[in-house]
Amino acid sequence: MSVAERRGQRLRAAMEALAEHPGGLPLREVWGIVCLRVPPDPADLERTKSGRQRAEVDLAWHGVDLVKAGWLRREDRRWFITDEGRLARALAASFAGTALRPPLPLALDTLVQQFPGE
| Largest interatomic CA distance in the chain | 42
pLDDT tens digit sequence for 24-73: 999 999 999 999 999 989 988 899 898 888 889 989 998 898 899 899 99
N- to C-terminal Cα distance for the chain? Answer: 11
**Residue 95: domain span:** 3-111
Structural domains of the chain, count: 1
* Domain at 42, CATH number: 1.10.10
Q: Is residue 117 part of a domain?
A: no
Q: How far apart are CA 98 and CA 118, in angstroms?
A: 28
Q: Is residue 116 part of a domain?
A: no
Residue 53 lies inside a defined structural domain of this protein:
yes
Q: Is residue 13 part of a domain?
A: yes
Average pLDDT over residues 82-94: 82
Q: Is the residue at 21 inside a domain?
A: yes
Res. 89: pLDDT tops 90:
no
Which one has a higher pLDDT value, 114 or 39? 39
pLDDT attached to residue 105: 44
- Three-class secondary structure of residue 47 per DSSP: strand
Q: How many CA atoms lie within 13 A of 4 on its CB side?
A: 11
